[in-house]
Structure 1
Amino acid sequence: MIEGEQFIPTEIRTDQPTVARIYDYGMGGKDNFDVDRAAAEGLAQIAPEMLDVARENRLYLYRAVRHLARDAGIRQFIDLGSGLPTAHNVHSVAQEFTPGAKVVYVDIDPIVLAHGRALLVESDDTVVITADMSDSAEILAQPELRDLIDFTEPVGVLYFSVLHCLPDSADPGAAVRAMLDAVPSGSHLALSHLVSDDVAAGDAFTEGMLALGPWGRVRRPAEVHAFTEGLEPVAPGLVDVAEWRPDPAQPALDPVPAPLRPYLGKSTAGKSVWELGGVLRKP
């Protein structure tokens, strides 16, 4: 199938938005379609601060992966719900600070698989697999993952801004625990999750996302803390991702598209919904 100048595999639907492509648009990426751009602009009208929140999360990803690769000695990573390749990909950050670091990307969206494999065609240290991040048993059974990841050595288990995509019926906490049970002591969990103390604001954003398709919900901070019980927080613990070891000197993100620019800076007056995140060590 051809749309404009792009060849689009037939299994990729362009008549409904996806979270991965909406996020890609907000990061200034090009792997999105009209339906995704319209959805992103509609969500920005409902929750204008969310563009800032999404971009703060991507900057946090860089700092968290840098810490794991450079400071914590992690040489292998599993990125659950990885999304489309965009600025500060996990493999590029990890391999910048630890050459030869191994990365497995996991996502259910076929466009992620298509673009990821095209990007990584010549890499022996990085693979992309299609699996549902809520099904840890399926993920852990994947031969490509087992071939790349050594489960006798510490692993970085990553859930960046994705657990809120899982409904309660998928039991995201159980998915996280199952992944952590599979990795040895010294492994680390890095995560971020949309949260709100304002029930009405969280529910409004959740309803906006559910209108686009299957999604989870904005949760309360205490619910995310429960996902990490038994782990040792790395300072400063679970915080607004913008406050997790901020570094003004880190590489910048790509500019946002012109239709989204009016929504930049909208979180300066306070956020009703934000990303709670941090890095934790398995003892």
Structure 2
Amino acid sequence: MTLGEAQEWAPPGVDVTRPSMARVHDCLLGGVENFTADRSVARRLKDAVPEVVDLVWCNRAFIGRIVDFLVREAGIRQIIDLGAGLPTIENTHEVAQFADPGTRVVYVDLDPMVEPHARAILGGNARATAITADARDVEAVLGHPELTRLIDLDQPTALLAIGLLHLFPDADDPHGLVRRYVAELAPGSHLAVSNMLASDNPKAKALETLLQATMGTSYFRDRADIEAYFDGLVLVEPGVVHFPEWHPDERLPGPPAPWEELLLGGVARKP
């Protein structure tokens, strides 16, 4: 551990010597809730793929458009945000409650820094909370008392898994994980999913290799594997697409830039 790391304060349970995906993401977004190890990974990512900062902002904008659609058009009033990461601007609850102040939101993340920081930002917001849990433990997440306090699973619910599933190897069965969550949701619920897209794009190969080397995780998948997350559900138009193509702010978006081709996701409704 360096002197700088030794002087960095962290909440109990946080190892500042090990980078966290939530904190690396925070660093790339210009946040301050990160440590030397996280900033080192962020620098290496920017060196390998300079557009990685644009990529994380593209991810943030995608979530915002999805949440706005879910509340304004799909009529959803309760949202579970898996792998939410550290709070930043235009958080899920802010977008959702701007559309309808009665919307209830639960953030879920494994990083123990997320919950206290999210709660600080939420302040006295009675319709939003954060919990520390492993998204792979469906029972622990859906049975958490803070989640059951706000979310009625007998009513339509939106489940967000954006920027999460590419962290899980095939051995963790991410498709089965999604199916287990969906099985617990009421008809009319919605699933929003993304995964980094495997391709011959050199930026995809560079980013996947570096994330494997620095974080020990990152599993890019092909289109068929990503579309399989939505098996049995009804896809919302325009289907599984690159992020800028999903309900774009511009009526006629241009073709995706090479770095935008790394991101693929969509939204679907449970019949």
Same fold at TM > 0.5: yes
3-state secondary structure, aligned to 2:50: coil
Range with bigger deviation, 115-124 or 73-82: 115-124
Q: In the alignment, residue 248 of structure 2 is paired with which amino acid? A: P
Task: Note the alpha carbon deviations across 1:178-224, whole angstroms, 9 max, x for none.
Answer: 11110111100112211122287545422311222342411111111
Q: Per-residue displacement from partner, 1:242-269 (whole Å, max 9, x unpaired)? A: 11111159xxxxxxxxxxxxxxxxx975
Distance 1:35 1:3, change over 3 A: closer
Partner residue, 1:53: 55
In structure 2, the partner of 1:123 is 125
2:71 maps to which residue?
Answer: 69
Aligned Cα root-mean-square deviation (Å): 2.4
Is 1:276–2:260 an aligned residue pair? Answer: no
State the partner residue of 1:24. Answer: 26
Whether contact under 8 Å (1:50, 1:273) holds in the other structure is no
Secondary structure (helix, strand or coil) at the match of 2:186 reads coil
Match of 1:241 in 2: 243
Residue 101 of structure 1 aligns to which amino acid in structure 2?
Answer: T
Query: Residue 181 of structure 2 aligns with which residue?
Result: 179
Q: TM-score, normalised by structure 1?
A: 0.86
**Against the structure 1 CA distance between its residues 72 and 37, is the aligned structure 2 distance closer, same or farther, given a 3 Å change threshold?**
same
* Number of aligned residue pairs: 265
Q: Would you say the 8 A contact 2:242–2:261 is kept in 1?
A: no
SS at match of 2:215: coil
Correspondence 1:207 to 2:195: no
- State the alpha-carbon separation in 1 of the partners of residues 199 and 208 from structure 2: 14
1:72-221 matched pairs, under 5 angstroms = 72-198=74-200, 202-221=204-223
Deviation at 1:115, TM superposition (A): 0.8
How much does 1:4 deviate? 11
Deviation track 1:101-156 (CA, whole Å, cap 9, x = no partner) reads 11111110011122112222412111111111112122122121112111121000
Q: Which amino acid aligns with 2:268?
A: L
- Contact 2:87–2:117 under 8 Å retained in 1: yes
Greater shift, 24-33 or 7-16, is seen at 7-16
Partner of 1:259: none
Separation (CA, whole Å) in 1 of partners of 2:230 and 2:130:
26
Amino acid at match of 2:258: G
* Paired residues of 2:243 and 2:260 also in contact (CA < 8 A): no
Partner of 1:254: none
Which structure is richer in relative contact order (CA contacts within 8 A, separation 6 or more)? 1
Distance in 1 (CA, whole Å) between partners of 2:215 and 2:8 is: 24
Structure 1 residues 98 and 6, CA gap change in structure 2 (3 angstroms): farther
Unaligned runs of 5+ in 2: none
Distance 1:119 1:16 in 2: 25
AA aligned to 1:270 is P
The one-letter amino acid paired with 1:173 is H
| CA–CA separation in structure 1 for the residues paired with 2:155 and 2:202 | 44
Q: Which residue of 2 aligns with 1:256?
A: none
Rounded to whole Å, the distance in 1 between the matches of 2:121 and 2:68 is 21
1:150-188 deviation line (CA, Å, top 9, x unaligned) = 112100000111110111111111111111110111100
> Alignment partner of 1:212: what SS?
helix
C-alpha distance in structure 2 between counterparts of 1:53 and 1:33, whole Å: 21
